[in-house]
Chain A
Amino acid sequence: MEAIKCEGLTKRFGPITAVDSLDMVVEDGCVFGFLGRNGAGKTTTIKLLTALSKPTQGKAWVAGEEVVHNSLTLRRKIGYLPEEPTFYNWMNGREYMIYVGELFHLHGGEIKRRSSELLNWVDLEEAASRRIGGYSKGMRQRLGIAQALMNSPEVLFLDEPASGLDPMGRRDVLEAILRLKGETTVFMSSHILSDVERVCDVVGIIDHGRLITQSPMEELRQKYAHSVFELEFEEPTDSLLDSLKPLSWVSKVEEIEPGVASLRVVVNDLATAKRELLERVAQSELTLLRYELTLPSLEDVFIELVGNEGNK
């Protein structure tokens, strides 16, 4: 069953086309990663799908409902977490959850039960009686996820849920999303490739408002990415790096970590690479510590599709 469907969805702001003829289908129950660089059209798409914004052209359906600007019926079926969730700072966490529950017309007992359940789920039970004004960014983000789940939504929209968080906060938020797998459809936008790679089943890549590709994660890796070799040495690798760069079967060669004697070699002809790479290493007279043919990452796919600027 389709949780989200768009047909020619377009949004223009004057001369700028933020979302350009978006055709997309998201299946029920999956965690969908909507990937794109900053300004690619991710937030605008989410605003269109949550009926917060009116499309210039095209139609969309979410949870079986046609998306109509300001539709109340649709809002009963969805959950939404904006990029930077803001709350009434004078409320405490539990009060905010109760407020949201009441807005969804849940019954008193159910609101109480669900609030405690969700606050516990996002690890905020202890801080529930503290004013939201004193919450850290990570806590606000987790409260944002909890409030978005109050109505047990059929589709949950998360706009950059882990952006701007410290590593611990990011881990907590991503774990919360992972726990939602199979329970609800999650539509998550992000420009952080590793986050999408970690939690999403299916990925859609958007650039300049256009959907470039949409595919299950593994299929995408197979389809677009080149093979990647990772090499680690005892000595500096500058000479080898320079000698590999001009070779026709090498797409890209870079240091894995600046200052560490390790190289990442992306190749476009695996057979030749297998044959010649070690030969080149031997010629360089460097001491090889590790030689590994790795799975291409989503980053490789992204760079391949969007270009080198996509990572910024």
Chain B
Amino acid sequence: MSGLGVLLKKELKEQLRSYRLLIVCAVFILFGLATPLLVKYLPELIKVAGEDVKIQMPAPTAVQALQEYADSMIQIGVLVAVLVTMGAIARERELGTAAMTLTKPVGRGTFIVAKLLAASTTFAIAIAAGAVACYFYTIILFGEANAAGFLASNLLMVLFFAVCLSITLLCSSFFKSQLAAGGVALVIIVVLALISAIPWIGPYMPGKLTGWGMALVAGSSGSAWRSFGVSLALIILCVVLSWQTLQRQEV
């Protein structure tokens, strides 16, 4: 992993200067602020909208607000993850900047690991920022909330997004076009989500991490360690496959 520090520093600077970090953070913070507000006032809004229709809704809770936020972020976040990472390798190869770097003494594996670490760091920072915004707004609107459970659920979210990012990076190393890379990555992530619904294989899929996170926020028991292990293995597999793909390519 010769040169990992240098490449990681460059990648992190790029995340900052290309406004990727800012954009991803803005999306998470926006949802972090909007979701508790929406959950709190949705019954009121429905009441106002449907004047004559009587809909009985349970009083919204802090748990509901935090769970709703996590749920929204998984869906929106996947799209953001694919969009900001699909060009990571494909675009560098297309522009020729990859060749400029790869004629220096750095391995192609290092090149990929640095990209994954930087993108994961961006998402970790954005998740933290969104979580802080969501948690404090929830406290303001609802009172007390389960901080430990919410923290754990956000850590699981980081792992889930790392899986999405590594899949997108693999596609970016495979395809010359970033659009093709993004499209195929999205399809793979959706297929994995659909497989999560199959009872015998579902518990092993990364999608179960989100369910585990929801349970932690609600303070209920239950874990998804098999899904946790498979997620880690998937990240490693994607990195190895990306490395092998790039190794065979002529930049």
Contact = CB atoms under 8 A, between A and B. Distances in A.
Contact of A88 (B3, B14, B102, B104): B14
B51 interface: no
Interface in B1-47: 2-3, 6-7, 9-10, 13-14, 17-18
Interface stretch (A97-105, A117-125, A177-185, A298-306): A97-105
B interface, over-half SS? helix
Interface stretch (A20-28, A34-42, A75-83, A195-203): A75-83
A104 B6 CA distance: 10
Nearest to B99: A82
Interface stretch (B53-61, B63-71, B105-113, B186-194): B105-113
B72 interface: no
Interface in B91-116: 95-97, 99-108
A85 B100 contact: yes
Contacts of B250: 47, 52-54
Contacts of A102: 3, 6, 9
Interface in A240-296: none
Contact of A70 (B13, B100, B247): B247
A86 B95 contact: yes
A50 interface: yes
Contacts of B18: 90
Q: Which of A88, A90, A105 has the most CB of B within 10 A?
A: A88
Contacts of A104: 104-105
B237 interface: no
B251 interface: yes
B105 A105 contact: yes
Interface in A64-122: 70, 72-73, 75-76, 78, 80, 82, 84-88, 90, 99-100, 102-105
B247 A103 contact: no
A82 B247 contact: no
Nearest to A13: B250
B216 to A, nearest CB: 39
Contacts of B99: 52, 82
Contact of B102 (A52, A76, A85, A147): A52
A99 B10 contact: yes
A87 B95 CA distance: 9
A76 B106 CA distance: 10
A84 B96 CA distance: 8
A87 B251 contact: no
A86 B105 contact: no
A130 to B, nearest CB: 14
B107 A52 contact: no
Nearest to A80: B103
A63 to B, nearest CB: 13
Contact of B251 (A52, A76, A78, A84): A52
A103 B100 contact: no
A75 B6 contact: no
Contacts of A70: 107-108, 247
A70 B102 CA distance: 8
Given A99-B6, A102-B6, A103-B6, A87 B107 contact: no
Contacts of A78: 103
A90 B18 CA distance: 7
Given A72-B2, A99-B6, A86 B104 contact: no
A103 B106 contact: yes
Interface in B166-217: none
Contact of B105 (A53, A76, A87): A76
A150 to B, nearest CB: 9
A9 to B, nearest CB: 15
A72 B3 CA distance: 11
Given A52-B102, A86-B95, A103-B101, 5 more contacts: A54-B250, A75-B104, A86-B97, A105-B105, A147-B100
14 contacts: A52-B251, A70-B107, A70-B247, A72-B107, A75-B103, A82-B99, A82-B100, A86-B96, A86-B97, A86-B100, A87-B97, A88-B14, A102-B3, A103-B6
Q: Closest 10 A-B residue pairs measured CB to CB?
A: A86-B96, A103-B104, A102-B6, A80-B103, A90-B17, A53-B250, A75-B105, A72-B105, A86-B95, A76-B105
Interface of A: 47, 50, 52-54, 70, 72-73, 75-76, 78, 80, 82, 84-88, 90, 99-100, 102-105, 147
Interface of B: 2-3, 6-7, 9-10, 13-14, 17-18, 95-97, 99-108, 247, 250-251
